[in-house]
Structure 1
Amino acid sequence: MKKALVLGASGGMGYALIQELLERGIDVIAFARSKHKLQALYGEQKGVKIYSGDIFNQNDLLSAAEHVDTIFQSANLPYEQWEEKLLPFFEKIIHVAEATEAKLVLVENIYAYGKSPGSKVAEETPKNPHTKKGKVRLQVEKRIKASNVLALFAHLPDFYGPNAENTLLHFTLENVIQHKSALYVGHKKIAREFIYTPDGAKALVNLALHKQAFGQNWNIPGYNVITGEEILRIVYNINGYKKPVFTVNKGMIRLVGLFDPTMREVVEMFYLNEDPVVLDGTKYEREIGPLPRTSYPDGIKQTLEHMLAHK
């Protein structure tokens, strides 16, 4: 890999991917809508070319993808747009990848797996999505596999890390750094899985550098499962945070959803907070190598430090 395009470069995983690619000496095109945010993130970094454009504009995508050999797709849309716009968006990405003959690395979530089978899910676990969003993600996967694009699909749990702002843990930590009362989504005693974005990025780039990884699905799990109570104890040990942390339950989200279209769609995915899906990373470790795994204390500490530095 000599030159890569990262879609969704202003987001948490996009940011981590660009840092990882640069560290390996790979030139990067950072693509997102906001030129101001791209300049704030990458304006001083060598090896990055900023490209602000519309992910729905095929000409913008084609122009950004000129002379790249790998496209990392980490852009996302608001939940309320998935049903109507997600597949058409991926049709544009497919066209661009076919036109440029670039390989495609898909940063995927766990929605297509559906409800937890009661054990860790492996790549061969049947995908039986029961939600609208899970079904559309599976539809996208099937469409890409039916195309002429050389692609790999990497499933990851919920993110946290530097610049990962549109995430559940950021929702909690943004008040923690201000020593204000905070909110935690889901029951604080239920253990679930999160991945530190630099770990996810390292694993994604590792996969992209292995030719045999393409044409396959891969699971990239986090460090392990952790409860909300354990997360808050880690935060306390880092900065002495002692303010109350209130639980956000499904009923509260449903109520907010009466006025907020995004939160209305969040209700459907709340099952992941009640019966979490946990990924099995055996295949990756068998065929690629050890999974990058930053401990929660270290990852949360570095996330808080980044948030404070960019507050």
Structure 2
Amino acid sequence: MGRAMAGDHENVIDACAVHGAKLVFFDNTYMYPQTADAQTESTPFLPYGAKGRVRATIAEELLTAIDRNRLSAMNCRTPEFYGPGKTQSITNSAIIEPLVQGKTARVFLRDDTLRTLIYTPDASRAMAMLGNTSDAYDQTWHLPCDDDRLTYRGFIHLAAEQLGAQPRYQVLKRWQLVAGLFNSTIRDAAELLPRYAVDNIFVSDKFKARFPDFRATRYREGLASIVRAQTRR
């Protein structure tokens, strides 16, 4: 098994094909349309911006290699992350970390759209389960998330409750983000801005039907775990 990154994906596919190695590929949703339509494994690609086009190219080449029986692989796709430790995500850097530090959280464009977020330990557990399931290969899988989706307003209030803090946040306007007034993690998300203006509905029903005993972490539980880890430092 392996994990491919943009830039070396062709070499990874070729190496797996030559050596008969199975590939478990960790992917995101940058290539999906940035609309409020529900996202499933069959959602067509409609990338917006350079990052989306790169991700679409990688996913398409992997699917083509699978269709041509060059290798046995699976594509494991996730929405936006949140999680403990050094999780690198917009939600962690713009919301969770500032709140833990007693600062003001930042939200892109709107605070009232529904967000689908995946807890990083859930993504790891789900990939391990898929990778060890022989009939899960040669498919795309959406990894499991809590379907009780929150707005960022609700997420911030829940995080602040866990911290015993005030739910202070600022809604950033498009011009502030495009102007690059904030850190590099936030600036790099500029091409994804349209998806923050609408509900983000990432559907993982296929995984949940195949693995009904897998329990996705609820947002309250995930945030409580993150807060405990942060405050122990």
Q: Same fold (TM over 0.5)?
A: yes
2:33 equivalent in structure 1: 114
Letter matched to residue 94 of structure 1 = I
Aligned equivalents of 1:282, 1:143: Cα separation in 2: 25
Residue of 208, 211, 217 corresponding to 1:285:
208
1:71 equivalent in structure 2: 2
Q: CA deviation at 1:181?
A: 2.6
The question of whether the paired residues in 2 share the 8 Å contact of 1:110 and 1:277 is answered with: no
1:35 equivalent in structure 2: none
Q: CA deviation at 1:288?
A: 3.3
Deviations 1:245-303 (A, max 9, x none): 1122321111117x987755422111121124322222212233344311111101111
1:141 equivalent in structure 2: 59
Secondary structure of the residue aligned to 1:112 is coil
The question of whether the paired residues in 2 share the 8 Å contact of 1:180 and 1:243 is answered with: no
| Greater RCO structure (CA 8 Å; 6+ sep) | 2
TM-score normalized with structure 1 length: 0.66
2:160 equivalent in structure 1: 236
The question of whether the paired residues in 2 share the 8 Å contact of 1:203 and 1:292 is answered with: no
Q: CA RMSD in A?
A: 2.4
Residue of 85, 88, 103 corresponding to 2:22:
103
Residues 262 and 242 of structure 1: is their aligned pair in 2 closer, same or farther, counting only changes over 3 Å?
A: closer
Q: Which 5+ residue runs of structure 2 have no aligned equivalent?
A: none
Deviations 1:128-180 (A, max 9, x none): 32333222212111222333232101111111111243211211221212222
Aligned equivalents of 2:61, 2:127: Cα separation in 1: 21
1:89 equivalent in structure 2: 8
Residue of 94, 106, 115 corresponding to 1:192:
115
1:247 equivalent in structure 2: 171
The question of whether the paired residues in 2 share the 8 Å contact of 1:103 and 1:149 is answered with: yes
Aligned equivalents of 2:32, 2:105: Cα separation in 1: 31
Residues 264 and 168 of structure 1: is their aligned pair in 2 closer, same or farther, counting only changes over 3 Å?
A: closer
Deviations 1:24-61 (A, max 9, x none): xxxxxxxxxxxxxxxxxxxxxxxxxxxxxxxxxxxxxx
Number of residue pairs matched by the alignment: 227
Aligned equivalents of 1:104, 1:298: Cα separation in 2: 31
Secondary structure of the residue aligned to 2:2 is strand
Secondary structure of the residue aligned to 2:189 is helix
Letter matched to residue 269 of structure 1 = L
Residues 263 and 285 of structure 1: is their aligned pair in 2 closer, same or farther, counting only changes over 3 Å?
A: closer
Aligned equivalents of 1:215, 1:231: Cα separation in 2: 35
The question of whether the paired residues in 1 share the 8 Å contact of 2:24 and 2:76 is answered with: yes
Deviations 1:48-84 (A, max 9, x none): xxxxxxxxxxxxxxxxxxxxxx2244x5xxxxxxxxx
The question of whether the paired residues in 1 share the 8 Å contact of 2:28 and 2:77 is answered with: yes
2:76 equivalent in structure 1: 154
Aligned equivalents of 1:210, 1:249: Cα separation in 2: 45
Letter matched to residue 142 of structure 1 = E
Q: Residues 28-47 of structure 1 correspond to what in structure 2 (within 5 A)?
A: none
Q: Which 5+ residue runs of structure 1 have no aligned equivalent?
A: 1-69, 76-85
The question of whether the paired residues in 1 share the 8 Å contact of 2:41 and 2:140 is answered with: yes
Residue of 192, 214, 220 corresponding to 1:269:
192
Residues 163 and 186 of structure 1: is their aligned pair in 2 closer, same or farther, counting only changes over 3 Å?
A: farther
Letter matched to residue 228 of structure 2 = E
1:78 equivalent in structure 2: none
TM-score normalized with structure 2 length: 0.86
